[in-house]
Amino acid sequence: MTEILAKILTYGLPFIVLFTGVVWLIDILFFAKDRKLKVAAVEKKFSINEKKSEAEQKAYESAMAEAATEPVTVEYSKSFFPVLFFVFFIRSFLFEPFQIPSGSMIPTLEIGDFIIVNKFTYGLRVPILNSVMIPMNTPKRGEVMVFYPPHRPGVSYIKRVIGLPGDEIRYTNNVLYINGKEIAQSFVGKKVPEFGSPCMYYHSELTLVNESLGDKPHIMQKCDVPGELSRDGTWKVPEGHYFMMGDNRDNSGDSREWGYVPEKNIIGKAVVVWMHWEDFFSVPSFDTVGSIE
């Protein structure tokens, strides 16, 4: 349901905005003048007697309503266009809400977290085409990014930026190496695997560790017995692409599986959690509100 709604907003909203805007513009250019003339004619006709009888007043109001009435399509377009355009502008160029659909970013982000994605951090983009219109910053290692994966165009994914263009990434037994340097991990604690986790299949516990990729460390979790994608792999990130991984390392389909994310597929930077609402029948919570590290 979340994916369907996202697609409607991404691809349907621009066309609705365009349609209502064009209808309003055509009315202004070709039809609004005729209504104004009709209204002026009614005013002139009934202005002969300043003091109107009750019957004349009703006739005047009826004639005025008929002269000024807009077609239903025009009326609705004028009402909805400003609101829809505002939503379209904010969502396309500034900020976009996004709900976490899977557990691939646990413990940083839980299923049902509602987050805000900053759309202009990595440059202003042309709606739908997603090409950069005004370049700004480029993704930094360690940032949490929303993007379209290469194997599922139009479906939004969220992962952490691990590899930048030109980096050599190696991941062996849940230890990350970037350009030959091991990324240190510091023990945080143990955790019972969530239901459906590959750790249950391997009869393994979860270990939480601090991992430093950028300016600030983040917590990631891994099975004590590495999963298939975590045992051994080496990748060379091509220019204009990024290597993405989930913080739930053994329960995340990411660049280890489907490859690199091209720059043109970037949506924006995940910046803040503003609500948690797992499903329609649960109670929304604001306990996890805060910035995303």
Say if residues 182 and 174 touch (Cβ distance below 8 Å): no
Would you state the CATH architecture of domain 100-291?
Answer: Ribbon (2.10)
Helix (H, G, I), strand (E, B) or coil at 131: coil
Q: 3-state SS of the chain: helix, strand, coil percent to 5?
A: 35, 30, 40
Burial of 177 (0-12, 13-18, 19+ CB in 10 A): middle
Active site annotation includes 104 = yes
Mean pLDDT by 10 residues, the chain (293 residues): 59 87 94 91 76 79 88 93 92 90 94 94 86 91 96 92 98 96 95 82 88 88 93 97 97 96 96 89 87 91
Say if residues 118 and 144 touch (Cβ distance below 8 Å): no
The catalytic position among 119, 159, 222, 269 is 159
pTM of the predicted model as reported, rounded to 2 decimal places: 0.83
Q: Strand 290-291 to strand 266-276: parallel, antiparallel, or no bridges (unpaired)?
A: antiparallel
Q: Outline which parts of the chain fall under CATH 2.10.109.10.
A: 100-291
Q: Which pLDDT belongs to residue 1?
A: 47
How far apart are alpha carbons 145 and 96 in whole angstroms?
13
Q: What angle do CA 61, 67, 72 make, to 5 degrees?
A: 110
Q: Which pLDDT belongs to residue 50?
A: 63
The catalytic position among 77, 92, 104, 252 is 104
Contacts 24+ apart (CB under 8 A), 205-210: 208/107, 209/185, 210/185, 210/186
